[in-house]
């Protein structure tokens, strides 16, 4: 780039540490990272992109924030993580070329913005999909291991100081694990389960081979496959096509005692059908990091079910997440400037 060439103007619309703003500029010098930290809510913890809910802008500050956002060629984050704010700036800024959401499942927010087809075709939307793959895959392994070793029984006996007769635990290298969704998270799950000696199956649309996967299962054969596996790991995003994919029909067909772990979206599993399957023993254990309604309603039977592990959508949280997302933004900015395809592009028909 020569000194006279205009830099790509990237506006930071969610809280991002100053050192990470500078990191983006260092990684891709052709970007001007525009930020005003005083107009953004402080984070309450790692990767708290929405920030402190008590933060409020004055009328003048809101106008300044909107003007800053509307000056962008590209956006780091959906403004205030609000679909309505995204819709406003897309309509106000015909120069906007690209928006990266900080959420792996950012397609849902883009859908909620209600953009018309012309805007969806004009602006490229990407997500942080894959950035969270490692932590979520670890939780999936933890969940399957907890089921295989019967963690609820161990905790119950410990709580009553009971020393029972010895009993046999299941071994991971004797299990067949079906990963429903072989995207970024699913691929990381496959790598880990394979390394631990499990036989790994995975659902696929493309039919392309994935490292560590012993058998690819077309989605239309899912019902047959679940009757042959010992554990099911769900990694799919929440879309109209995946809603309640794991429902009564699938759960009726599982091998009795199957272990389920969900690190995708809660809407993929029909929780009413799951509870029935837990109660009658078809599902032996469920480790859930995501739920149909979040926070999980305090009246939900899942809280107290003896064979359910509830994790409050926190398995992906990592102090390194913000840096990984900043690096992803810089990498994709370079691709945009070089005319190359961006990674983790949102499908604006199915919104995943």
- For the stretch 76-89, pLDDT in tens is 999 999 999 999 99
1 pLDDT more than 70 = no
Nearest to 315 by CA among 17, 82, 46: 46
Q: How far apart are CA 75 and CA 99, in angstroms?
A: 5
Residue 105 is predicted with a pLDDT of 80
Active site residue 132: no
Catalytic residue among 18, 221, 294, 350: 294
2 pLDDT more than 80 = no
121 pLDDT more than 70 = yes
Residue 8 is predicted with a pLDDT of 97
Q: Is 339 exposed, middle or buried (0-12, 13-18, 19+ CB in 10 A)?
A: exposed
Question: In the predicted model, what is the mean pLDDT of residues 228-249?
Answer: 95
Q: How far apart are CA 211 and CA 187, in angstroms?
A: 7
129 pLDDT more than 90 = no
Helices and strands (DSSP H and E) totals, the chain: 12, 12
Residue 103 is predicted with a pLDDT of 87
Q: How far apart are CA 274 and CA 282, in angstroms?
A: 9
Partners of residue 6 on adjacent β-strands: none
Q: What is the DSSP string of 72-95?
A: -SEEES-GGG-HHHHHHHHHH-TT
- 6 versus 191: the higher-pLDDT residue is 191
Give the HSE-up count for residue 283: Cα atoms under 13 Å, Cβ half-sphere: 31
Active site residue 313: yes
Three-state DSSP class for 323? helix
Nearest to 96 by CA among 1, 7, 9: 9
**In the predicted model, what is the mean pLDDT of the chain?**
95
Question: In the predicted model, what is the mean pLDDT of residues 300-308?
Answer: 98
Check if the beta carbon of residue 227 is closer than 8 Å to that of residue 203. no
Phi-psi region of 77 (alpha: psi -120 to 50; beta: other; left: phi over 0): left
Q: How far apart are CA 324 and CA 311, in angstroms?
A: 23
Residue 4 is predicted with a pLDDT of 53
Residue 184 is predicted with a pLDDT of 87
Catalytic residue among 265, 282, 307, 328: 265
pLDDT band, very low/low/confident/very high, at 279 (cuts 50, 70, 90): very high
Residue 255 is predicted with a pLDDT of 97
Q: How far apart are CA 17 and CA 323, in angstroms?
A: 9
Question: In the predicted model, what is the mean pLDDT of residues 174-203?
Answer: 96
Range with the lowest mean pLDDT among 203-207, 268-272, 300-304? 203-207
Please tell me the pTM assigned to this model. Answer: 0.86
Q: How far apart are CA 283 and CA 273, in angstroms?
A: 11
Catalytic residue among 97, 199, 313, 335: 313
Question: In the predicted model, what is the mean pLDDT of residues 344-349?
Answer: 93
Q: How far apart are CA 218 and CA 126, in angstroms?
A: 26
Q: What is the pLDDT of residues 251-278, one digit of tens each?
A: 999 999 999 999 999 999 999 999 999 9
Active site residue 44: no
Question: In the predicted model, what is the mean pLDDT of residues 93-113?
Answer: 93
Vertex 342, ends 88 and 183: CA angle to 5°? 100
182 pLDDT more than 90 = yes
Q: How far apart are CA 259 and CA 184, in angstroms?
A: 22
């Amino acid at each position: 780039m020569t000194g006279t060439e205009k830099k790509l103007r990237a506006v930071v619309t969610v809280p991002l540490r100053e050192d990470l703003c500078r990191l983006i500029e260092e990684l891709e010098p052709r970007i001007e990272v525009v930020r005003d930290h005083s107009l953004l809510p402080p984070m309450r913890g790692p990767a708290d992109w929405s920030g402190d809910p008590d933060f409020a802008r004055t009328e003048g500050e809101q106008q300044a924030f909107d003007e800053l956002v509307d000056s962008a060629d590209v956006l780091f984050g959906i403004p205030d993580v609000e679909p309505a704010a995204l819709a406003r700036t897309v309509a106000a800024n015909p120069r906007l070329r690209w928006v990266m959401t900080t959420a792996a499942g950012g397609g849902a927010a883009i859908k909620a913005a209600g953009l018309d087809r012309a805007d969806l075709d004009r602006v490229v939307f990407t997500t942080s999909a894959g950035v969270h793959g490692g932590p979520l895959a670890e939780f999936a392994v933890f969940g399957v291991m907890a089921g295989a070793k019967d963690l609820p029984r161990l905790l119950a006996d410990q709580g009553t100081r009971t020393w029972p007769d010895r009993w046999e635990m299941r071994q991971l290298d004797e299990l067949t694990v079906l990963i429903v969704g072989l995207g970024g998270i699913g691929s990381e799950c496959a790598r880990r389960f394979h390394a631990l000696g499990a036989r790994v199956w995975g659902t696929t649309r493309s039919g392309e081979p994935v490292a560590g996967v012993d058998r690819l299962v077309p989605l239309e054969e899912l019902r047959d496959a679940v009757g042959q596996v010992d554990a099911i790991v769900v990694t799919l995003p929440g879309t109209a096509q995946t809603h309640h994919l794991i429902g009564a029909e699938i759960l009726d067909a599982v091998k009795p005692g199957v272990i389920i772990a969900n690190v995708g979206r809660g809407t993929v599993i029909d929780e009413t059908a799951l509870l029935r399957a837990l109660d009658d023993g078809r599902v032996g254990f469920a480790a859930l990091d995501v739920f149909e309604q979040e926070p999980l309603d305090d009246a939900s039977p899942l809280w107290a079910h003896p064979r359910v592990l509830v994790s409050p959508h926190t398995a992906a949280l990592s102090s390194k997440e913000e840096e990984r997302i900043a690096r992803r933004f810089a990498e994709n900015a370079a691709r945009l400037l070089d005319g190359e395809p961006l990674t983790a592009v949102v499908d604006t028909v199915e919104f995943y």
